[in-house]
Amino acid sequence: MSNRVFAVVILAAVAALGGFWYYTSQQPIAPPMGAAGNALESGDTPKDQPKPILQGWKRPAAMLVISGEMHGYIEPCGCSQNQLGGLSRRADLFEKLRTRAWADETDSAEAGKEKSGAQQPPVEVVGFDLGGVINNSRPSRAQAKLKSAAIISSLKAMHYTILGFGREELQLDEDKLVELVNPTEGFKYVSANVMLFPNGPVSVADVVANEMGRVPWTLATVGSVKIAVTSIVGKQQISETLGDASRNDMIIAVDPAAALKEVMPKLLEAKADLRVLLSHASLKETEALIDQFPDFDVVISVGGPEDPDPKPTRIGHTLLATVGEKGKHVGLVGVYPGAEEPARYEGISIDGRMFQKTERLEEIMRDYQKKLEQEKIARNQKPVQHPGRGDVTPANATFVGAKRCGECHSKAYDKWKTSGHAHAMESLSKGRKGEEATWIDRAQDPECLACHVTGWEAKIMVPYESGYLFEKAYKDRKGKDVVPDLAGQQCENCHGPGSEHALKEQAGKGQITDEVQKWRKFMHLDMSVAEQVCIRCHDGDNSPKFKFPEYWKKIDHKGMKD
């Protein structure tokens, strides 16, 4: 087996936004002001604005940014204002943490105002991740491989130094696992109870001693601070990914408590300034591990809500927190060696009103989108048959496009042309108004196309057999569309492929035959199920403020002829 080593991604300097940000002990990180001095986004109220973070925090000796269960969410969809998350914004957080001003040691407001970020030495900031960074639903497909590489490059660029294993990593095939865990300078996979590429039966001690592709624990040096870190995968996650045998040909996982029993003495011997456990386990199991191993200063766990409590809980000496999912939130740990409380924790949201996109991470995104186009990922997606509706499976029906629908349903067509649905492809390729100059074209990304064109299955992100093609529509010598124009969110995404309906109506010449009735019934979308159709795209990730009655008013399209 030949190892493939990731190309080293050199961390580029991320420019600080001087005009938008100012730092004092009383205003740690403030929302950016608009051109007219207005910090509010459209539709926001003052109570909606993000609160400044780390208020009253004195300068730590080191700062940890901890994330987990990203599930392949490299960025928020962008279809809705003020969505949380995005690696490009997270990089801005790293830079702001390095250069911000902290409260004065006297904790005096006046003294704090005298200090500026430039007068204070920068704080060393590193990232740790709990695992689960890649796409859980289809981790083996071609796009997932390219996206995983982009995510890993982004994490390295931000100066992440430690990743744990999660469900997604345990499901990788051999080639992808080897590629993922190949060592790169300054970047380690850490797990106390997961061993890679076992050769025959192994004991817990064997797992802890083995360092192929990962280490059981590590002593991370962050500036002058030494942090002893280990990670585990929980029993439930092991059972659900590896089965009752807790192993496959590439991975073996042992009981996390048994592994920690072997690792903990090594963490104590290291005499680190802080001991950290990254727990990819249920909260109940994590809490039990804290009871059994009370010498951890900080434990970050999965298993909490997607939008977590920003405050930690305390179990004895240990701070326990969760960081949510999909990259929307991270946990910040300030390290204070020698203090009575060696760590301070706060969970924050990656909010676009506080953190801006960064050029280095945008370059990685551009490269990722370019590779999707070069490797023709969307064009090579294997199509599926439309599932039909009721007792009709449209085996021969094809998508014909909104223009053809409008030949009879002219009122509905005119309404559609004024809607955002009609411009869905345009927004995908050019971005929102005002974003055009910096927008990264996503018109070759299956995860975006699925809701921005006609004839794709939104949830599994593949085309139906006659769905959107990339060739532009053209006409034959008689003026007939040969390739229907299926760009944008059109009629047939809700009503189904319309060719048979159109043909039967044309052949019937106004007569209500059985075939005409059959296809009218197929195309009809009852309002009782319309909402379920809408939320295939207007889900919690892409359209968090979606309310069907309000949105329906914008596209209500009863009637046929003018």
* Residue-wise DSSP of 350-402: -BTTT----HHHHHHHHHHHHHHHHTTTTTTPPPB----BTTB--SS-----H
Asked if 314 and 265 count as a contact pair (C-beta separation under 8 A), the reply is: no
pLDDT for residue 34: 27
H-run or E-run covering 162: strand 160-163
99: exposed, middle or buried (Cβ count in 10 Å: 0-12, 13-18, 19+):
middle
| 148 DSSP assignment | H
Asked, for residue 306, whether it belongs to a domain, the answer is yes
Tell me what pLDDT residue 265 has.
97
Q: Coil, helix or strand for 69?
A: coil
- Kindly state the percentage of the chain with pLDDT values over 90: 57
Same domain, yes or no, for 422 and 317? no
Q: What DSSP state is assigned to residue 422? A: G
Tokens of 153: 């490059």
* pLDDT of 113 higher than 60: no
Instruction: Please write the tens of the pLDDT for every residue from 492-508.
Output: 999 999 999 999 998 88
Q: Are residues 354 and 475 in the same domain?
A: no
Q: Residues near 434 by Cβ (< 8 Å), separated by ≥ 6?
A: none
Confidence category of residue 136, pLDDT binned at 50, 70, 90 = low
* One domain for residues 244 and 311: yes
Q: What H or E segment, with its residue span, contains residue 505?
A: helix 499-508
Rounded to the nearest integer, the mean pLDDT of the chain is 84
Range of the domain at 342: 61-365
DSSP lists the bridge partners of residue 126 as 64
Indicate whether 392 and 305 sit together in one domain: no
- 234 vs 138: which has the higher pLDDT: 234
Per-residue pLDDT, 137: 61
Q: With contact defined as beta carbons under 8 Å apart, do 372 and 147 qualify? A: no
* Token representation of residue 326: 């999909």
Judge whether 16 lies within some domain: no
Amino acid present at 267: L
Q: Are residues 178 and 246 in the same domain?
A: yes
Domain assignment of residue 50, yes or no: no
Name the least confident of 183-192, 232-241, 297-306, 362-371: 183-192
Number of H helices, E strands in the chain: 19, 16
The two beta strands, 318-322 and 313-315, are antiparallel
Tokens 């109506």 correspond to what residue? 505
> Mean pLDDT over residues 100-128, rounded?
66
Average pLDDT over residues 18-22: 28
Which domain-ending residue is among 365, 400, 416? 365
* Rounded CA separation 505/67 (Å): 56
| Token output for 54 | 């780390």
Q: For residue 10, tell me if it sits in a domain.
A: no
The answer on 323 and 433 residing in a single domain is no
Structure tokens at 111: 């003294």
Q: Which DSSP letter does residue 456 get?
A: E
Domain identity same for 501 and 544? yes
Question: What's the pLDDT at 11?
Answer: 28
Please list, in sequence order, all residues whose beta carbon lies within 8 angstroms of the beta carbon of residue 186, skipping any fewer than 6 positions away: 156, 159, 161
> Tokens in use for 389?
């509706």
Q: Which amino acid is located at 500 in the chain?
A: E
Band (526; pLDDT cuts 50, 70, 90): confident
What's the CA gap between 36 and 39, in Å, rounded? 9
Phi, psi of 455 (to 5 degrees): 95, 25
**Pairwise CA distance, residues 73 & 140, whole Å:** 16
> Can you tell me the mean pLDDT for 6-35?
29
Tell me which residue has tokens 């689960």: 132
For residues 392 and 310, state if they share a domain: no
Cα 452 from chain centroid (whole Å): 19
Answer whether residue 237 is part of any domain: yes
CATH number for the domain harbouring residue 521: 1.10.1130.10
Same domain, 319 and 397: no
Based on the domain organization, do 463 and 518 belong to the same domain?
Answer: yes
Q: Which helix (H) or strand (E) holds 128?
A: strand 125-129
Q: Report, as an integer, the average pLDDT of 170-183.
A: 76
Whether residue 401 is contained in a domain is answered as yes
Residue 466, token pair as written in the block: 């006659």
Give strand ranges (E) for 248-297.
Answer: 251-253, 274-280
Residue 109's pLDDT band (boundaries 50, 70, 90)?
very low
What are 51's two structure tokens?
């609160």
| End position of a domain, from candidates 365, 398, 421 | 365
Split into its structural domains, the chain has a count of: 2
Q: Which of 135-141's residues contact partners 24+ apart within 8 Å by CB, and which partners? A: 135/71, 135/72, 135/168, 136/71, 136/72, 136/167, 136/168, 136/171, 137/460, 138/460, 139/168, 139/171, 139/172, 139/176, 140/172, 140/173, 140/176
Q: What's the pLDDT at 32?
A: 33
Are 403 and 336 in the same domain?
A: no
Look at residue 416 in the predicted model and tell me its pLDDT: 94
Pull the structure tokens for residue 206: 């064997």
Q: What is the pLDDT of residue 548?
A: 86
Mean pLDDT of 318-339: 96
pLDDT category, 5, cuts 50, 70, 90?
very low
Judged against a pLDDT cut of 60, whether residue 9 lies above it is answered with no
- Asked, for residue 432, whether it belongs to a domain, the answer is yes
Mean pLDDT across 45-70: 87
273 shares its domain with 193: yes
CATH classification of the domain holding 138: 3.60.21.10
Which of 133-147, 181-195, 436-450, 524-538 shows the lowest per-residue confidence on average (mean pLDDT)? Answer: 133-147
Whether residue 33 lies inside any domain: the answer is no
Distance CA 102, CA 117 (A): 8
Q: Is pLDDT of 164 > 70?
A: yes
